[in-house]
Structure 1
Amino acid sequence: MCGITGWLDWQRDLTEQGNVVTAMADTLKRRGPDAGGQWLAPRVGLAHRRLIVIDPNGGVQPMVRQAGGNTYAITYNGELYNFRELRRELEGRGHVFESRSDTEVLLRAYIEWGPSCVEKFNGIFAFAIWDEKEQQLFLGRDHLGVKPLFYAQRGSSFLFGSEMKALLANPLVKPEVDQDGLTELMAMGVFRTPGQGIYRGVTEVLPGHTVLVTRNGVRVTQYWKLESREHTEDFAATVQHVRDLLEDAITRQLVSDVPIGTMLSGGLDSSGVSAVAALAFKGEGRQLDTYSLQFVDEDRDFKANPMHRDLDAPWAKRVADTSGTNHHIILLDTPDLLEDILEPMRARDLPATGDIETSLYTLFKKMKPEVTVALSGESADEVFGGYPWYYTPEMRSINNFPWTALGGNKLEEAVLPDVMERLNPKAHQAMRYQEALSLVPRLAGESAEDARTREIFFLNIARFLPYMLDRKDRMSMAASLEVRVPFCDYRLVEYMWNVPWEMKFAGGVEKGLLREAFSHVLPEDVVRRRKTAYPVTHNPTYVNGVKQRVREIVEEGTSPIFDLFDRDKVRQAAYYEGPTGSGFVSLKNYYDHIIQMDAWMREYKVSLV
């Protein structure tokens, strides 16, 4: 995994802008700490920061190749899991390879097939290719959007980068947020609508899309989308099909020239991935390393709720023991979280959510000395139906994004009345909801209930999953760790999209089909364990710590957030000494959000325009 960035300009000579291109790339050093490089031509400058995973010597980037009298250059972030098959096909077409990296496979695929090359790829990727003869820049992003990619147009310039900080390092892009961006941020929070960059004039390349930049303009093309059709296989055949797809995806994603492990919480998704990976390792005479997160004193502080039914630790140990993995427990305490509390914001270039992201970053940071690559169970809930809003009637029926049924945004209570009236975040969220519904691939003849189920799956894949993948990518790459997500294999997502709910909910339990698919590699009690969300700290010392930070922000008094929030209301929350319980959780999130907004606006010198 890596960081990519670049600058195309139709008027100025970019061979004289190497320092700026270097500055853009330097912002991405944590994504690629092992090496860096740039390639400059009159019209384009490409840069790369590398995290070495495959072919340390041959995969140097930007990579330049000559073919048919033409020059092609690529900067690429990601992994192609079918690169061996593609390489054989390209060799059969006369291509001679100079490395064993998937970077060269991707570049030669473009040389052979042009922009349609993306239809050949199975992987996670974001890349840019400069075609000297055609004088065009071609950008592509993977099917589900696992790897990020942003761009901005400024006059004759087109700039792109893995993260928005790379764009902001160019003098042409200012940290300005207009009313549209602020409304999106306040209304949607971390569930930012795909394509929206928040900063003025910054756009995200959508998952499953490509962007072609020529002198005639910018052309965006969708090369992949979900399609609805009747499912024809019975339950037994469906289970076997899913099992085959999962085992193929997991084993493909174990390819690495550096140490690799898996995340193991003890939940169904990570347990299944770890069990299959452990079997593959055993077949090669190796032992798999697995990693889980625990909080100091969590036995004392844990409070069960519908999203957190029980502690993960005993279940992670159970799977590690039965699968024979070398299990590592990463123990986090309040000082760890408070020390790293702003790292997720710096990784995102936008306000983060608090300890749910901080703990993930700190977990990866502590894993990094031992592994460079890890597999994760991300997206199983979206693809197989793991969240309560899939099957809880009152959550299914709300006329909004179903996860909003978990509770409102308490931070809205502190927004200044004139700001609230001007932005009208509730109307914006309602508009975004209807916009998302209009994109659902419908199936003629479905019952109203089945159609609603299809809507909920689409909303989760197209709107909820982007946040989950964004969080996983930013937190892992900020720690210079690559995380792969087998459940995002587009073949699996395509297949599961049309499997009826009765099969997905087999046995009357969430992810019933997935439980059956993993039943041959997991203990029965692990297969039966009900869904428990990613863990959060329940330690009161964390709440006291973030509360004190909010008090300092209030008393210092010069924070730019007070252009948006009522200082007296924030002070009232900061000095609240009432009972804990559900309000305790809400206030913890409230404090986290205030800290994030304050630090983001200060550090990034955000201008509201």
Structure 2
Amino acid sequence: MCGITGWLDWQRDLTEQGAVVTAMADTLKRRGPDAGGQWLSPRVGLAHRRLIVIDPNGGLQPMVCSVGGRAFAITYNGELYNFLDLRRELEGRGHVFESRSDTEVLLRAYIEWGPACVEKLNGIFAFAIWDEGEQQLFLARDHIGVKPLFYAQRGSSFLFGSEMKALLANPLVKPEVDMDGLTELVSMGVFRTQGHGIFRGVTEVLPGHSLLVTRNGVRVTQYWKLDSHEHTDDFAATAQHVRELLEDAITRQLVSDVPIGSMLSGGLDSSGVSAIAARAFRQEGRQLDTFSLQFVGEERDFRANPMQHDLDAPWAKRVADASGTNHRVILLDTPDLLDNILEPMRARDLPATGDNETSLYTLFKKMKPDVTVALSGESADEVFGGYPWFYVPEMRNLNLFPWQAIGVGKVENIVRPDLLDQLNPVRHRAERYQQALRQVPRLAGESAEDARTREIFYLNMTGFLPYMLDRKDRMSMAASLEVRVPFCDYRLIEYLWNVPWEMKFARGEEKGLLREAFSHVLPEDVVRRRKTAYPLNHNPAYLEGVKAKVREIAEDGTSPIFDVFNHEKILASAYFEGQYEAGPIALKNYYEYIIQMDGWMREYNVSLV
């Protein structure tokens, strides 16, 4: 995994802008701490930061290949899980390879098939290829959007990067947020609309899309999308096919030239991934390393809630013992979280959500000395239907994004009254919701109930999943760790898209189909365990810690957040005592949001325009 960035300009000579291109790449060092490079031509400067995973000596980037006197240069972030198959196909077409890397396979795939090469790729990727002969730049992002990619146009320039900080390192891109960006930030929070970069004039390449940049402009193409059709397999055949797809995805994603492990919480998703990976390791005479997260004092502090029914620790041990993994518990304490509270914001270039991201970042940082790559159970809930809003009528039938039913993403209660009318977050969310519904791939003849289920899945795929993948990518890459997500194999998602809810909810259990698919590799009690959310820190000392930070911000009074938020309300909340009506978790989330916004606006020198 790596970080990529580049600058295309149709007027100035970029061979003289090496220092700026280097500065853009340097912002991505945590994504790629092992090596860096740049390639300059009069029109284009490409740069790369590398995290070595495959072919340490042969995968240096930017990589340049000349065919018939025509030069092609690539900067690439990701992994191709079918690169060996593609390499054999390309060799059959006469290509001679100089390395073992998937980078060269991707570059030669573009040379052979042009922009259509993306239709042959199975993996997670974001890349840019400059064709010197045709004077055009081609960019693409993977089917599901696992790897990030942003761009901005400024006059004769086109700039891109894995993260927005790379763009902001170029003098042409300022950290400006206009009313549209502020509305999106306040209305949607971390669940920002796909494609929206928040900063003025910054755009995110959508999943399954590619861009071709020429002197005539930017042409955007959608190369992959979900297709709705009738599902004809019975339950047994469906479960078997899902099992085969998962086993293929997981085993393909074990390819690595560096140490690889698996995250194991004891929940169904990570347990199934870890069990299959452990079996593949055993067949090679190896033992899989697995990792779980635990908070100091969690047995004392934990309180069951609708999203967390019990503690993970006993279940992680149960699966590790059953699968024969070398399991390690990463123990986090309150100071770990408070000391790193702004790291998620720095990784995202935007305000983050709090300790669920800080703890994930700290977990990855503590895993890094032992592994460079890890598998994750991320995304199973979105594609199999694990959240309560898939099946609880009161939540699934609300006329808004389902996660808003639990208050996720609403902060307008502290927005300054004079701004609130301009931003109108309620209207903005409603517009975004209706926009998303218009994009749902419909199936003619479906019942109203089935059509609503399809809507819920689409909303999750395009609204909730992007946040989860963004969180996973930014927190892991900030720790220089590559995390792979087998549940985001596009073949699996294509198949599941049309599987009826009755099968996904088999036996009246959330993810009943997945439980059946994993039943051959997991103990029965693990298969039947109720879903529980990513663990949060329940230590009262953490709540007091974030409250103290908010008190400092409020008492200082000079924070730029007071251009947006009501100072008096924040000051009053900083001295709040007693029981918060929405509960301690909601209060903690509120404090964390203030801290994140303050840190972001200060450190990025955000200018409201």
1:368 and 2:368 equivalent?
yes
Deviation at 1:413, TM superposition (A): 1.6
Q: Work out the percentage of aligned pairs sharing the same amino acid.
A: 82
The answer to whether the Cα contact below 8 Å between 1:176 and 1:607 also exists between their aligned partners in 2 is yes
- Structure 2 equivalent of residue 73 of structure 1: 73
How many Å separate the matches in 1 of 2:353 and 2:403? 15
* In 2, Cα distance between equivalents of 1:204 and 1:263: 28
Work out the CA distance in 2 between the residues paired with 1:17 and 1:449.
57
Per-residue CA deviations over 1:258-279 (Å, capped at 9, x if unaligned) read: 0000000000000000000000
Report which stretch shifted further, 404-413 or 542-551. Answer: 404-413
How high is the TM-score relative to the length of structure 2?
A: 0.99
2:246 corresponds to = 246
Equivalent pair of 2:187/2:410 in contact (CA under 8 Å): no
- Map 1:100-249; keep pairs closer than 5 Å: 100-249=100-249
Instruction: Report the Cα offset of residue 409 of structure 1.
Output: 5.1
Aligned to 2:320: 320
Find the aligned partners of 1:409 and 1:438 in 2 and give their Cα distance. Answer: 22
Length-normalised TM-score, structure 1: 0.99
| 8 A Cα contact 1:410 1:590, kept in partner | no
Q: Distance in 1 between matches of 2:35 and 2:93?
A: 32
Distance 1:571 1:474 in 2: 31
Residue 584 (structure 1) shift? 1.5
Amino acid at match of 1:398: L
How is 1:306-345 mapped onto 2 (pairs within 5 angstroms)?
306-345=306-345
- In structure 2, the CA distance between the partners of 1:598 and 1:247, relative to structure 1 (3 Å rule), is same
Q: How does 1:17-32 map to 2 (within 5 A)?
A: 17-32=17-32
Matches within 5 A, 1:492-531: 492-531=492-531
Q: Residue 68 of structure 1: CA displacement?
A: 2.1
* Structure 2 residue 425 is matched with structure 1 residue 425: yes
For residues 550 and 110 of structure 2, what CA distance do their matches in structure 1 show? 51
Higher alpha-carbon deviation: 481-490 or 572-581: 572-581
**Unpaired segments of 5 or more residues in structure 2?**
none
CA–CA distance in structure 2, aligned partners of residues 442 and 277 of structure 1: 36
How many angstroms apart in 2 are the aligned matches of 1:419 and 1:589? 22
- SS of the equivalent of 2:595 reads helix
Match of 1:293 in 2: 293
Distance 2:198 2:580 in 1: 34
- Read off the aligned partner of 1:547 and give its amino acid letter: K
What 5-or-longer segments of structure 1 have no aligned partner?
none
- 1:57-102 per-residue CA deviation (whole Å, 9 max, x = no partner) reads 0000000001122000000000000000000000000000000100
How many Å separate the matches in 2 of 1:258 and 1:355? 29
- SS of the residue 2:185 aligns to: helix
The residue number in structure 1 matching 2:455 is 455
> Partner amino acid for 1:37?
G
Q: Is the 8 A contact 2:188 2:409 kept in 1?
A: no
Task: Give the distance between the partners of 2:188 and 2:249, measured in 1 at CA.
Answer: 32
Work out the CA distance in 2 between the residues paired with 1:581 and 1:287.
Answer: 48
SS at match of 1:433: helix
Amino acid at match of 1:322: A
Query: How many Å separate the matches in 1 of 2:604 and 2:506?
Result: 49
Distance in 2 (CA, whole Å) between partners of 1:175 and 1:568 is 27
Aligned amino acid, residue 487 of structure 1: F
Superposed CA RMSD: 0.7
Name the CA distance, whole Å, in 2 between partners of 1:185 and 1:40.
36
- 2:583 partner SS: helix
Counterpart CA distance in 1 for 2:185 and 2:403 is 17
CA distance in 2 between counterparts of 1:437 and 1:301 reads 41
Are the equivalent residues in 2 in contact too, given 1:410–1:586 (CA < 8 A)?
no
Partner residue, 1:53? 53
> Could you report, residue by residue, the CA deviation over 1:547-598 in whole angstroms, capped at 9, with x for unpaired residues?
0000000111100001111111001111011126742111100100000000
Provide the rounded CA distance (Å) in 1 between the counterparts of 2:407 and 2:134. 52
Deviation at 1:407, TM superposition (A): 2.3
- String of CA shifts for 1:232-288, please: whole Å, max 9, x gaps: 111100011000000000000000000000000000000000000000000000000
1:406 CA displacement: 1.0
**CA positional deviation for 1:434:** 0.4
2:420 and 2:589 map into 1 onto residues whose CA distance is: 20
- In structure 2, how many angstroms separate the alpha carbons of the residues matched to 1:331 and 1:409? 29
- 1:408 Cα deviation (Å)? 5.8
Measure, in 1, the Cα distance between the counterparts of 2:413 and 2:518: 45
Q: Using the alignment, how far apart are the partners of 2:96 and 2:510 within structure 1?
A: 49
Instruction: Report the counterpart of residue 598 of structure 2 in structure 1.
Output: 598
Answer whether contact 1:573 1:587 (CA < 8 A) is retained: no
Judge conservation of contact 2:191–2:464 (CA < 8 Å) in 1: yes
Return the offset for 1:433: 0.3
2:356 maps to a residue whose letter is I
Amino acid at match of 2:50: R
Deviation track 1:106-155 (CA, whole Å, cap 9, x = no partner) reads 00000000000000000000000000010000000000000000000000
Q: Report runs of 4+ in structure 1 exceeding 4 Å deviation.
A: none
What amino acid is aligned across from residue 243 of structure 1 in structure 2? R
Question: Which whole-Å deviations, capped at 9, do the CAs of 1:343-389 have from their partners, x for residues lacking one?
Answer: 00000000000001000000000000000000000110011010000
Amino acid at match of 1:453: T
- 1:278-305 deviation line (CA, Å, top 9, x unaligned): 0000000000000000000000000101
- Residue identity matched to 1:602: R
Deviation digits for residues 288-332 of structure 1, max 9, x if unmatched? 000000000000000101100100000000000000000000000
After TM superposition, give the deviation of residue 414 of structure 1 in Å.
1.4
Q: Tell me, what secondary structure is at the counterpart of 1:353?
A: coil
Are positions 1:565 and 2:565 aligned together?
yes
Which residue in 2 is equivalent to 1:381?
381
Is contact 1:141-1:207 (8 Å) kept?
A: yes
Work out the CA distance in 1 between the residues paired with 2:476 and 2:30: 10
Distance in 1, matches of 2:410 and 2:178, equals 23
Counterpart AA for 2:359: S
Q: Deviations over 1:7-55 (max 9, x none)?
A: 0000000000000000000000000000000000000000000000000
In structure 1, the residue matched to 2:351 is 351
For residues 408 and 599 of structure 1, what CA distance do their matches in structure 2 show? 21
Q: Distance in 1 between matches of 2:300 and 2:579?
A: 18
The whole-number CA distance in structure 2 between the counterparts of 1:451 and 1:142 is 27
CA contact (8 A) 2:5 2:24 kept: yes
SS of the counterpart of 2:519? coil
Measured after TM superposition, the shift of residue 410 of structure 1 is 5.9
Q: Any idea what SS the aligned residue of 1:261 has?
A: strand
Q: Secondary structure at the match of 2:224?
A: coil
SS in 2 for 1:330: strand
Distance 1:418 1:393 in 2: 37
Which amino acid letter does the alignment assign opposite residue 284 of structure 1?
E
Cα distance in 1 for residues equivalent to 2:226 and 2:304:
37
Contact in 2 for aligned 1:553/1:559 (Cα 8 Å): yes
CA–CA distance in 2 between the matches of 1:340 and 1:176? 26
- Indicate if the aligned counterparts of 1:419 and 1:564 stay in contact, CA closer than 8 A: yes
